[in-house]
Amino acid sequence: MIVAGNWKMNKTPAEAVAFVKELIPKVAGAKAGVVVAVPFTALPGVAGALKGTNIKVAAQNLHFEAKGAYTGEISADMLKGAGAEYVIIGHSERRQYFGETDETVNKKVHTAIAAGLVPIVCVGESRTEREQGVTAEVVRRQVKIALLNVGGDALLSSGLVVAYEPIWAIGTGLTATNEQANEVCGVIRGLLGELYGAGAAKKVCIQYGGSVTASNAKELFAMPEIDGGLVGGASLKADDFGVIANA
The total number of structural domains in the chain stands at 1
Please compute the mean of the pLDDT values over residues 62-76 and round it to a whole number: 98
The reported pLDDT for the residue numbered 144 is: 98
The reported pLDDT for the residue numbered 76 is: 98
Query: Which pLDDT band holds residue 218 (cuts at 50, 70, 90)?
Result: very high
Q: Which residues contact 65 (CB under 8 A, 6 or more apart)?
A: 73, 75, 111
Is 65 labeled as catalytic in the residue annotation? no
Query: Which pLDDT band holds residue 30 (cuts at 50, 70, 90)?
Result: very high
Residue 174 has pLDDT above 80, yes or no: no
Please compute the mean of the pLDDT values over residues 195-213 and round it to a whole number: 95
How many whole angstroms separate alpha carbon 90 and alpha carbon 160? 13
Residue 241 has pLDDT above 90, yes or no: yes
Residue 89 has pLDDT above 90, yes or no: yes
The reported pLDDT for the residue numbered 32 is: 96
Answer whether 150's CB lies under 8 Å from 109's CB: yes
How many whole angstroms separate alpha carbon 217 and alpha carbon 219? 6
Query: Which pLDDT band holds residue 105 (cuts at 50, 70, 90)?
Result: very high
The reported pLDDT for the residue numbered 59 is: 98
Other C-beta atoms within 10 Å of 35: how many?
A: 26
Q: What is the pLDDT of residues 31-67, one digit of tens each?
A: 999 999 999 999 999 999 999 999 999 999 999 999 9
Looking up residue 92, the CATH number of its domain turns out to be 3.20.20.70
The reported pLDDT for the residue numbered 176 is: 84
**High-pLDDT (> 90) share of the chain, %:** 96
Nearest alpha carbon to residue 86 among 121, 118, 111, 43: 118
Q: Which of 65, 100, 165, 219 is catalytic?
A: 165
Q: Which of 91, 93, 100, 110 is catalytic?
A: 91
Which runs of consecutive H residues, i.e. helices, occur in 28-65? 43-49
Query: Which pLDDT band holds residue 175 (cuts at 50, 70, 90)?
Result: confident
The reported pLDDT for the residue numbered 171 is: 74
Please compute the mean of the pLDDT values over residues 11-18 and round it to a whole number: 98
| Domain range for 211 | 2-245
The reported pLDDT for the residue numbered 188 is: 98
Looking at every residue in the chain, the average pLDDT score rounds to 96
How many whole angstroms separate alpha carbon 160 and alpha carbon 28? 23
Please give the radius of gyration of the chain, using alpha carbons only, rounded to the nearest integer: 17
Other C-beta atoms within 10 Å of 141: how many?
A: 14
Is 165 labeled as catalytic in the residue annotation? yes
Q: How far is CA 110 from CA 131, 166, 246, in A?
A: 33, 24, 32
